Structure 1
Amino acid sequence: MYDSGAVVSVPLKSAPALSATQSLASLAKADGVRFLLATFTTLTGKPCAKLVPVEAADALEGEGVGFAGYAAGAMGQQPRDPDVVAIPDLSSYVPLTFVRPGLGMVHCDPYVEDRPYAFAPRVILRTLAEKAAAQGTGLVSGAEVEYFLVQRGADGTLTTADRLDDAAQPCYDARGLTRMYEHLTAVSDAMVQLGWGPYASDHEDGNGQFEQNFHHADALTTADRVVTLRYIVQVLAEQRGMTATFMPKPFTDRTGSGLHLHLSLWDGERALFPAGAAEQDAYGMGFSAQAYGFTAGLLAHAPALHALIAPTVNSYKRTGATTTASGATWAPRTASWGGNDRTHFLRVPDTHRVELRGGDGSANSYLAAAGALAAGLDGIARALEPGEPGVTDGGPRLPRTLLDAVHALEGDDVVRGVLDLVDASAGVSDYYAELKREEFYSWHNTVSPWEIDRYLTAV
């Protein structure tokens, strides 16, 4: 629930500039890195990697490393298809020696037969961001990463990792933070070492739930960092005998975990969201016409956007919740917007940004950012108006299930177009929609305890 990147007067640089003589091998050796995780994600957000020795870093940089895409998961391939080749982006390199001595990571853009691969989420976001930048618009984003720390019993049941974390309203509890001090400070120290500018860790609204924040950057850099941070959080939790989960709603009676995105537009060093001195402020938020158009685009495409920002069956247990043990769900149910009000789909904390609160911990950070950027730019292009702020029943109702979100995606050319951006003939949007439809039906075909309780002796 914390504000991600509250000071946003100047966009942060994505990464230090690399000199022409720097190579992946030289960067790694300078940090004492012996092995590199060459990493990319599938459409569902699964991080995939090969462990490459630093002695092979030159070959990795020059030729990439091959993967069987079908084995990796949701990558649009069959066993007969050619390799997915991961080409590293040197600007994304980070040492992870605090996780394992000698370990580093570099994010990669997947290619197939020497062409950027249309099914790769990082390629999709990079392509859209470059297209927008060529037109003088850059997306800066900050991400709120929420998660639970749990333990799983032999019977599969989940319990809070901290057995003393049982308060009725645990949010911001100083004692709960202190009991998890070693884990939270290890994660924060990691972000300090990486230069991300972490500024807060807090106990969230659910028992066992935490959030850790770092400063905003360009959208691709932030998406990379979300992937990296999830990895760091999970590995460090495992080292302490816990499981860190980004599952949106692991507990029926507790608040779910979001991935809130704070979004702003820039033209170089010039902020595009605040209204100019002579500009009429139509809705009293201090926004420019571009910012209101961007906001309106997010609202107009909210149902389809949910297929990307809330992409699992479990996502809709979070947005559909009517109450929690703490008394609030903190998850929007309609596509509404307002000022500094956390009940809305879009919150406006200040004149520089809008907070997209509909996304959750299962979202692929690349697809979430790409979908939001495309929706907002469409609102600007069509000069859409967001309507009066604070009205909770004026906008479209958000999808109630993953299947509803898939139907909305299939009827929205703008959000579908995000998935089809790299190669319109590849059929990525159709593949993704079918993938998610089958995920819904697989869940629907599973008999649950709820059904046993309700129907076993009903008639």
Structure 2
Amino acid sequence: MIGIAESNTGVMDKTRDQIEIGNIQYLLASFSDMEGTLRAKLVPSGRLSSVCDSGAGFAGFAVGDLGHGPSDPDILCIPDLRSMTVLPWQKNVAWFAGTLTEDGTSWPFCPRTILLNVMEKAKKMGYEMHTGIEPEFFLVKENEDGSISPSDNKDISQKPCYQQEALMRNIDFLTTLIDYMDELGWSVTQADHEDANGQFEINFDFADALTSSDRQSFFRYMVRSMAEERGLIATFMPKPFSHLTGNGSHMHLSLWNGSNNLFEDIYDGKGYGLTELAYKFIGGLLYHAKAISAIVCPTVNSYKRLTAATTSSGSTWAPNYIAYGGNDRTQFIRIPESGRIEFRAMDGACNPYLATAAILAAGLDGIEKDIDPGEPFAGTDSISSNPIEKGNILPTNLKEALTALEQDDVIIETLGADFVNTFLHRKKEEWREYHHFVSAWEINKYLKGC
């Protein structure tokens, strides 16, 4: 893996030329916090060299759980020039994904650095992971009483998925978004109205794991910004409506060596077109499924998507079982075609860097330990009809997932013990906060009956 400083040296002249030709006046030196929220400083473009050399300084304690207290020195964000992204709606500003350092040393609480470390391990084993993300989101409006509803008042069908009328009523938003993405060189393949009212998905080309994570981070920022301009809210929240399908963030992935797809084998005896290497990777994902759930489904709300019995459309489209199978969208691991697999548990609340790092770490462990995924499962997304023993069900709440992560030495070591301990502390606080809060449901349910 080429270090950020070394990479910046190699592309500095090209970046300067792009800034000059594009009349870019400002730079966003940006990094992702633990929750996946982007933090940034606005830097005049003439300060490019100095911010790459010295970094943009941040008080770490002020931005959340980054292993810092108020008395600690600044953490420094070093922009990765390879990630330069000109804001399509504000063309005099360019965004840069950055990594964090302190006193010249990589900061172990930086999500992007954690992913880079796991990618470096993969590289030493001869692998590069390519990923393609399918982000789902809702466009909603806030009502006078503070509640939310789909922004399109006419989007009320019980089965709205792929509905052409609903798609076309949102044509301005979607085509503008597609134009922006193609302008950035992401090569959009398609967009659709998803299974829930007010829900959409955009698909674009796969890339190396780091580039895809950068793009997923920027995509969420871009969609939210576009919605705000229109007086709407774009949310990637896993389950904003109890009766509707939630927001997944499905990841299609494969391992490569140069131009060789190491997952593709058209002579696969199981008929899925995968290599033995791919099956071992799947084995690692299944083995570590409960632990990595805490990373890829990191909120209390995440498990209302995973464990929902049904929705108004008739299906949750979210996995319940720790299992894999063919072209079956109820699976934890789906095999849509030869040469790639789809990880379907990940949701819209995840930090893209941490989720990708956890998935890659689990898969690599499967390869190192020759973990057999067993036979594929022809399953269903209904918990009530689950034929698998309880041990093969995904965590049903955040607490269960955190307990599993606490007990998984491989994932802890790969992501970093200090980081995982901080993550666990923060998420346990979130769980306690949730249980201490008295909800409107409880008032309605118990106030007059107790």
TM-score by length of 2: 0.93
What secondary structure sits across from 2:46 in the alignment? helix
Residue number among 54, 76, 79 corresponding to 1:88 in the alignment? 79
Asked whether 1:122 is paired with 2:112, we answer yes
What secondary structure sits across from 2:392 in the alignment? coil
Structure 2: how far apart are the matches of 1:20 and 1:183?
34
Specify the code of the residue in structure 1 equivalent to 2:233: T
The corresponding residue for 1:324 is: 311
Q: How far 1:43 sits from its partner (Å)?
A: 1.1
Specify the code of the residue in structure 2 equivalent to 1:261: M
Say if 2:290 and 2:401, in contact at 8 Å, map to a contact too: yes
Asked whether 1:190 is paired with 2:194, we answer no
Asked whether 1:77 is paired with 2:60, we answer no
Residue number among 392, 404, 407 corresponding to 1:408 in the alignment? 404
Asked whether 1:166 is paired with 2:156, we answer yes
The corresponding residue for 2:146 is: 156
The corresponding residue for 2:36 is: 45
Q: How far 1:417 sits from its partner (Å)?
A: 2.1
Question: How far does the alpha carbon of each residue in 1:188-231 deviate from its partner, in whole angstroms, 9 at most, with x for none?
Answer: 11111111111111100000000011100000000000001111
Question: How far does the alpha carbon of each residue in 1:90-145 deviate from its partner, in whole angstroms, 9 at most, with x for none?
Answer: 1100111x222411101101111111110010000011112211221110000001
Residue number among 371, 374, 377 corresponding to 1:387 in the alignment? 374
Q: Structure 1 residues 384, 356: closer, same or farther in 2, change over 3 A?
A: same
Asked whether 1:448 is paired with 2:439, we answer yes
Structure 2: how far apart are the matches of 1:151 and 1:52?
33
The corresponding residue for 1:354 is: 341
**Residues 291-302 of structure 1: matches in 2 within 5 Å?**
291-302=278-289
**Residues 58-457 of structure 1: matches in 2 within 5 Å?**
58-96=49-87, 98-275=88-265, 281=268, 283-392=270-379, 393=388, 396-420=392-416, 424=417, 427-457=418-448
Structure 1: how far apart are the matches of 2:438 and 2:199?
28
Say if 2:8 and 2:81, in contact at 8 Å, map to a contact too: no
Q: How far 1:414 sits from its partner (Å)?
A: 1.7
What secondary structure sits across from 1:43 in the alignment? coil
Q: How far 1:24 sits from its partner (Å)?
A: 3.8
Say if 1:300 and 1:396, in contact at 8 Å, map to a contact too: no
Specify the code of the residue in structure 1 equivalent to 2:404: A
Asked whether 1:25 is paired with 2:21, we answer no
Say if 2:11 and 2:81, in contact at 8 Å, map to a contact too: no
What secondary structure sits across from 1:22 in the alignment? helix
Q: How many residues are aligned here?
A: 435
Q: How far 1:391 sits from its partner (Å)?
A: 4.5
Structure 2: how far apart are the matches of 1:17 and 1:438?
39
Moved more, 228-237 or 267-276: 267-276
Aligned identity (percent) is 43
- Could you list the runs of 5+ residues in structure 2 that have no partner in the other structure? 1-6, 380-387
Q: Structure 1 residues 230, 21: closer, same or farther in 2, change over 3 A?
A: closer
Structure 2: how far apart are the matches of 1:101 and 1:138?
32
Q: How far 1:361 sits from its partner (Å)?
A: 0.2
Structure 2: how far apart are the matches of 1:292 and 1:414?
19
What secondary structure sits across from 1:253 in the alignment? coil
Q: How far 1:261 sits from its partner (Å)?
A: 0.5
- Could you list the runs of 5+ residues in structure 1 that have no partner in the other structure? 1-15
Say if 1:283 and 1:389, in contact at 8 Å, map to a contact too: no
TM-score by length of 1: 0.92
What secondary structure sits across from 2:133 in the alignment? strand
Q: How far 1:289 sits from its partner (Å)?
A: 1.1
The corresponding residue for 1:4 is: none
